[in-house]
Amino acid sequence: MDLSDALTITGLGMAVVFSGLLLTAGLIVAFGRLQQLLDGASDAAKRPIPAIEPPSGPGPVINAEILTVITTVLEVERRLHRVRVRENREIADE
pLDDT tens, residue by residue, 15-41: 999 999 999 999 999 998 888 888 877
DSSP codes, the chain: --HHHHHHHHHHHHHHHHHHHHHHHHHHHHHHHHHHHHHHHHHHHHSPPPPPPPPSS--PPPPHHHHHHHHHHHHHHHHHHHHHHHHHHHHHH-
State what percent of residues in the chain have pLDDT above 70: 95
Asked whether residue 68 falls in the same domain as residue 34, the answer is: no
What domain range includes position 37? 1-49
Global confidence as pTM: 0.42
Position 55 in a domain: no
Question: Distance (Å, rounded) from C-alpha 58 to C-alpha 68?
Answer: 20
Residues in the chain: 94
User: Does a structural domain hold residue 75?
Assistant: yes
